Structure 1
């Protein structure tokens, strides 16, 4: 029976600067979790989903970025949501379960009955209240969000087998070499505080094993202690796999959208997914316009209030325009993210591209790509402070920061 006194906390794993290398050049100066999707920082989407959890006491962000990089955002989002959001910096990477355990005293200070654990680089509709309800029915230690994907792509993720009736997790394997199942782990979980006992058990077992082993050479000893570091505990291999089939872990399947945000290409796709979701959750964030007093807006578009967009511009679908952007007359934008302080001059065109902070496009310039989110050059990326001169065309290319393009390029990486 649910008690009105029960408290819930949420923990969001945000990683650190050694992660997210595939997100370059967009993560050079901005932590990946703060990169905007649909006009909101990536981490904002799971945080705002947590706000819908009943009896939510606190939200923790755990990572190993410097605290100053998150200080401003954490302060503003706490005020906006009226829920305490705290950033906890790891001294070193502890793994997804190890990081949770490292801060267990802070996480448990409100004596929560349940702990949500989310990964920041996941894009979905985060059905957290429904998960909580299902988790209470299952009466297990943990419930994980799962989704069916194509058999060809399943091995990129954690594959699992669940009982079709009880939804119990029966088998779990991370990125298997042979096909196991088209049901995969979404990286969103809810646990009871018993999870800490399970993590502690892994650490204790590792310590005991390390003490028992007699290793002859220094190299072997070094490799053993590295592989068996007692405070680095992975949630998937060290917790989910061993506990599968023991009536402790259960699954909740989502029929909605889900993506893992590993690359800038996928981030552009996720921005479009979140814009579409705004129609249901936050219609006030979507721009409108018919080309009379304001620009013509087609489909789902976010325009920051400080952006200046000429009434003859045509924007959308799936466009996100950040703060202090200037969009000139006759500009056409389709399927793109335009970051802060960008200037787009008359009649320029941007399609399937991300335009970095403080960049500028000249008159009649064209920046575009095929829009294959999974291909290395499937979208065009302009890094920070890139200048594309008048009438220059940039197709399916990545341009690193602080470059000036005065000749057209196609399928190139401009270092």
Structure 2
């Protein structure tokens, strides 16, 4: 084990508005990292996991959102966790490794011995202290969190082969066309500061290559866009693949849950995974009730203290209700996220859906979907300030903000 004086820092990549288009209409209102899963902002889950790392010095968020969009949250979470959290805004996308390298001086200002790197849109139990312990035993430059998945789904991710005895990374390929392995990269890493030398080597090689290459007239026209490529370094293809098999990188396998949060459907699934995790880590965040003085609760349910829920409502499993929501008499909620200031009137039903901020669901209405988290219309999404009038049924549909529905719809995207 390392000495108690060793400092560790954590870096969470949060992306920015040029990405996250698959998260619309929810990302129209709020930066994706702040979208609530299980009642907490998406980025809160990796941040609170970092709090458990021994000798944690600082947490950095790197992305290209405007600072004002994240500043209130960053200030609040720093105070809550008593750990300095800083947001570092990129001038342009640099790639996952390039973004890390771009802020190397700030990341290294307290001379940390280890650097955790996490992606914000990953949902898992984040076994970071265990990873750190394994990494120190391996003695390499980096350790990658991996998980076993089905052979059919593996090709959507970075597939890797590791030595079954030493856990050394032997081969890494990003989204291969033919099956390589059922072990995939979870997007959670720990590195020694040597990672910066590896990234610098890639940038230098590119710069030397660019200087040597004579530009054709077509390339000259596009040189403004090409000039950024020496700074854009991807962790997976540019760093992990070349270093595999060189006794530099190792793997740590998680047996717990893991998902990527690319779409609203997956955010609903991941909200449920975090709610179930709360049973072990934060039981005080879950509510209970038997339908007498408070609503009838089944399964894992989070209700913000400011929300008002009628005692005759039936709620759960996998339900998250945000601030100032109002849930009327006889309402049934199953597998849904209810956002701030939503009103759901008497006897309405909401299943497999996300109800946007300030929306209103009328009496006896039904908002539902098939619950296929991977399908584009597998859950129903209402954007901000959508009004569904009484006795209207909305099935497997997406409704953009500020719409009023007075007729039932099925499998539609309402712009």
Q: Please indicate the TM-score interval, normalised by the length of the shorter structure.
A: over 0.9
Residue 259 of structure 1 deviates from its aligned partner by 0.3
Cα offsets for 1:24-63 (capped at 9, x unmatched)? 0000020000000000000000000000000000000000
Q: Which runs of 5+ in 1 are unaligned?
A: none
Aligned length: 415
Cα offsets for 1:357-410 (capped at 9, x unmatched)? 000001111100010001111000000000000000000000000000000001
The residue that corresponds to 1:358 in the other structure is 358
The residue that corresponds to 2:136 in the other structure is 136
The 2-side partners of 1:80 and 1:327 are apart by 29
Cα offsets for 1:87-124 (capped at 9, x unmatched)? 11001101000000011111011110000000000000
Residue 211 of structure 1 deviates from its aligned partner by 1.1
Q: Where do residues 103-114 of structure 1 align in structure 2 (5 Å cutoff)?
A: 103-114=103-114
Cα offsets for 1:266-322 (capped at 9, x unmatched)? 110000000000000000000111111111110100000000000110110000000
The residue that corresponds to 2:216 in the other structure is 216
The 2-side partners of 1:404 and 1:227 are apart by 48
Runs of 4+ in 1 over 4 A off after TM superposition: none
Q: Where do residues 379-390 of structure 1 align in structure 2 (5 Å cutoff)?
A: 379-390=379-390
Q: Is the 8 A contact 1:314 1:330 kept in 2?
A: yes
Cα offsets for 1:169-206 (capped at 9, x unmatched)? 11111111111111100000000000001111111111
Q: Is the 8 A contact 1:210 1:225 kept in 2?
A: no
TM-score calculated relative to the size of structure 1? 0.98
Q: Secondary structure at the match of 1:340?
A: coil
Q: Where do residues 43-54 of structure 1 align in structure 2 (5 Å cutoff)?
A: 43-54=43-54
The residue that corresponds to 1:36 in the other structure is 36
The residue that corresponds to 1:87 in the other structure is 87
Q: Is the 8 A contact 1:325 1:342 kept in 2?
A: yes
Q: Secondary structure at the match of 1:2?
A: coil
The residue that corresponds to 1:372 in the other structure is 372
Cα offsets for 1:319-357 (capped at 9, x unmatched)? 000000000000000000000000000001000000000
The 2-side partners of 1:271 and 1:227 are apart by 40
Q: Does 1:264 align with 2:267?
A: no
Residue 216 of structure 1 deviates from its aligned partner by 2.8
Q: Secondary structure at the match of 1:83?
A: coil
Q: Is the 8 A contact 1:210 1:224 kept in 2?
A: no
Q: Is the 8 A contact 1:349 1:367 kept in 2?
A: yes
Q: Secondary structure at the match of 2:61?
A: strand
Q: Where do residues 52-71 of structure 1 align in structure 2 (5 Å cutoff)?
A: 52-71=52-71
Residue 217 of structure 1 deviates from its aligned partner by 2.2
Q: What is the RMSD computed on CA atoms of the aligned residues?
A: 1.1
The residue that corresponds to 2:165 in the other structure is 165
The residue that corresponds to 2:411 in the other structure is 411
The 2-side partners of 1:113 and 1:184 are apart by 26
The residue that corresponds to 1:102 in the other structure is 102
Q: Is the 8 A contact 1:169 1:250 kept in 2?
A: yes
The 2-side partners of 1:397 and 1:111 are apart by 51
The 1-side partners of 2:226 and 2:51 are apart by 39
The 1-side partners of 2:133 and 2:50 are apart by 14
Q: Does 1:279 align with 2:279?
A: yes
Q: Is the 8 A contact 1:160 1:169 kept in 2?
A: yes
The residue that corresponds to 1:156 in the other structure is 156
